[in-house]
Structure 1
């Protein structure tokens, strides 16, 4: 503003000032001449002097001591005659006044040098309060500049506050998302820890069916020789032990994966918590900055802070880092959730397989017990028939012995008769008559009958011995079946396998 008004008086000091557009002076070029004579020069003529004329100034003209619109600083308006300003010397108050070589003629009284216009201009310069006007202008400009400066400062501060408020909102948004992510990963860690505990419990519970299966196999080794067979129940028990081993291997592998996933979950949680801590510190700092005003306490100078820190990042990288941090944590959490689903599936299917195999084993044992019971019933029926046969054979033997006694009595009778006839008939009376032939034939028949009865008795006794042996075998087999198969498979194995864990116990851990 001062530069624009340097060519004329300040309008704030002279409000009624109207700029006078003056025509620029025209100067002769080098080598040109004014002419042979001065147009204003005139010769003196007596009686030419006129009485004084009253000067008339236009309306609204400034005071007489200030420059007038009719003033001129050029000496050409004055004639160069015997009287007038030129009488005492030469050019001395033109615009070139003061230039070396054009000094006026000096008389003994004064130096005539300046024109009236210059005098008035000098008066205007003296009367014009330049310093005061400058002070007022400076005051006005300073106040205006200060007002504008504070308006700009307020605008800048409002813009900074607006940007800080937006930054606080952005930080609050990301902090909320990070808190949600932390809560989700924390819940996932707790849930995975519960599932890990459940899996460890399932591994411990798995020792029971293995011990039960092995004990069942060991108990079945106490069976007697004929019943020591590799039947379906034996096959199912061996398969049960194998399934338990496979399930334990799968459980242990899954537990190792869970332990590794737990480490990844805790690492992700630690990373996202560091991010949350940084955001909390930044949010607290920005909120404190947002609440600061020029009237706040503890405002200090911190030279050199108006610069970018060495570790400063771009806004795009910050947003990328925030989203990537949350995405990485979510990826770890989703992987953990999938592992938990696999873990639950493994436990459920493993317990289901154990239950199905236990059912198969129990079914095979039930089939074995049922077959053994049927066999025992059949053996008992055979034993009952055998006992009846033994009784019948014994009755037969008694009958044969009784018959043999009767035959022996007949033999004694015949022998007595023959003895009497042979030794008691004298001489010719001891003849071979028909009675003698009949008695001899009777004796022979009795002897044959006696021998036949003895053979029958011996055969019956042999049959009775065989029946008695078969009876012993039946009784032994019945006792063995009841002691080995029924007692072991039905009673002892049933009591042991009654403690077989259920799928609910596996799921509960």
Structure 2
């Protein structure tokens, strides 16, 4: 049943349908509307809730079915309109039963609301008392939680402050070691330049003295040792730069966390001392619905703990790097000093060998000059011997020529003839042998001349090598950075 005062047009303005919701048949509707009203009287009544013309106008919107569409006009167009008396009878609004039921409903509603109001007053008194106690307890618990929160923030703030101080001290220590390492690296440039200049000067050696000797091997090794030391120093400088960056990043995170905790501690401390009678309290509508939090207590504590762990890890890595740099400085200093001494020993030995070779060359040059003088005398003696064989050869050949003029049978191959022929051949062989020996002596003299030139050239080479090794190279290698300077102390 509907509430009193509502419009009941849906119940009493339309007849009940019988059995189905379909439209009545055309024939039935035509028979039921045999009215004497004019055909268009009902269609012009627009204030009625039920308009038959509209009803049938909507009903006749049924689509025609293709080939089954009737070709004759529909009977719906011939429905007559209702008369005014019929409309009044059909459209009555309420019934007496509705009127009595509405009154009973009002009585019951009033009684129900009075009972509800009594219960509400009693429940409200209890509710107010309970909520007062709940509000007091809630405020006490909130104040307690704020006090605990202030204690937690104070604890973490002190831990972070202590770690910041340790981190600053470690960063300063690493920065000092880095400066020492940079000074030590700059000190290695002098020995490296000296070794490279020694190699450059020794490239000016001439001839056979351009030998890959122990001095050159040790010089090359010294260059490699110094460059290796420099490379390790540069790597550790890069590591220290990266470690300093990590230390500062960790310190920055700690300082930012410390600043946030300082602000949070100031805010929570002010919140903790707020009371109902405090100044500055006001309404902030809807603030409880705004959830701007980004963490929970677990993640909040873990954030600070992670910052502390990161800082401690970076401090441990920084301390290890400082120890590595100290060891590197000592190791590189010892390596460079050892190789410097090895090069100097090699130079000393090589200078001694070169001086000895030079002395021997001078001795051999003197002997060669003496031998050249003797060979020249021998050549002159051979030439005289060959010249002395001309006269005997002419005598023998003249005798043979004269004997060819003997007449007839006197041309006898007698022992004299045979002896003269043998004498000519003997003298000729002697001359040939002497000439051959002369050529050998001259070749020997030429070889001695070449040897002399070679010895003189080798002597100049040895003198040049001695000058390079003894004067230029060893002159530069008289000084070397001290151990304190090689480990970075000024």
Q: Report the TM-score when normalising by structure 1.
A: 0.47
Question: Which structure has the larger Rg over C-alpha atoms?
Answer: 1
Greater per-residue helix proportion: 2
Relative contact order higher in (CA < 8 Å, ≥ 6 apart): 2
